[in-house]
Amino acid sequence: MVKEPAISRSTAAKLACYIEERRRDLVAAVVRSPVLLRPGSLAASVFAASFLDCVAAELEGAEHERLDRWVEIDSAPEDGVEHARIVAIACSVLSGAFSADVGHSDEVISYLALRSRELEKRFRTERRGKPGKAVDAASLVNKDDVVCALLSAIEARDLATLEHSRAVGMWCGRIAKSLGMGSEMQAFAALAGTLHDVGKIATPAEVLLKPGPLDEVEWDVMRAHAAVGGKMLERVPSLKVLAPIVRAHHERIDGRGYPDRSSGDGIPMVSRIVAVADSFHAMVSRRPYREPVTVSEALAVIRAGSGTQWDPVVTESMTAILTPASKRQTQRVVAQSGAAW
């Protein structure tokens, strides 16, 4: 059984009951995935159903290490890669479906993310023929594994959100470097940016995927993702340090952001970096209900909000990154000439 993060007995029972009630629909959703080598095949359906049955049995506590034994006994080595895919897809589908039908549970999402990655790793690397071998699930899961599992869960909900998250992570790393931060802080900022929208795993599909502007009620639902993401990461020991960063990435310098209306230095510096990178990439990206703006137009918006919505130091850094060196040199010459006059 996965030791980190723990899932309470009541939540485990609720998830097990959900699996049993929705088993057929869940299996159908899993085997439709184009990621599989043989989408829709009988073998994939049988394996996905067997996996979900094992998850339910383990959650109910009837067979504490059912999944560990199942990996060793019920799967042929030559099918390891395909079975790893099915496990990852099944956990992502289950996570999204449970959130949509029952309601968000950071316990469920964290449990499935960790269990998915641990089992996927075992299918790809563990040798068969060792039935009964005790395996500490947590020992097979490191920070990178958990990050990959969470990103898989995001992808299962919305590919565009995943692509946005990766892009924001890249921009955060560049901003941190521009600000003179060391390599470790650059990597930390990039990771924070990559996971800043992890809370959207729990956002209802009708809001997350709506092909048009959101109304005020829907915006309230959408805004909850910052607090939800922070709460989710608090439950993952290796990522706990990111929780306050993710929670605060929609705060504003003037205190008019959310969820806590923090302001100025009360907002973590990395959150301020994420805020600029997030807003910039959102503006230059295509949305179903609007065309992207140009880089120059996005920079103009960011400059206009410097000191109110965004940190002036971070906005200046972003401007420097996106302004060609030749243009910056021309601007300096003009400024110096103007001063001489």
Supply the range of the domain harboring residue 217: 158-341
Do 210 and 240 lie in one domain? The reply is yes
The percentage of residues in the chain with a pLDDT greater than 70, rounded to a whole number, is: 79
Do 57 and 103 lie in one domain? The reply is yes
Asked if pLDDT for residue 296 goes beyond 60, the answer is: yes
Is this prediction's pTM over 0.85?
Answer: no
Do 318 and 333 lie in one domain? The reply is yes
Do 243 and 303 lie in one domain? The reply is yes
Which of these three, 123, 157, 191, is where a domain ends? 157
Do 4 and 58 lie in one domain? The reply is yes
Q: With 0-12 CB in 10 A as exposed, 13-18 as middle and 19+ as buried, what is 179? A: middle
Do 124 and 166 lie in one domain? The reply is no
Do 338 and 198 lie in one domain? The reply is yes
Do 149 and 167 lie in one domain? The reply is no
Maximum separation of any 2 CA atoms in the chain, in Å: 85
Q: Which residues pair with 290 in a beta bridge?
A: 287
DSSP state, residue 168: H
Q: For the ranges 19-23, 42-46, 149-153, 301-305, which has the lowest average pLDDT?
A: 149-153
CATH code assigned at 333: 1.10.3210.10
Q: Which residues pair with 306 in a beta bridge?
A: 310
Per-residue pLDDT tens digits for 148-176: 777 877 776 778 888 899 999 999 999 99
Q: With 0-12 CB in 10 A as exposed, 13-18 as middle and 19+ as buried, what is 245? A: buried
Do 96 and 174 lie in one domain? The reply is no
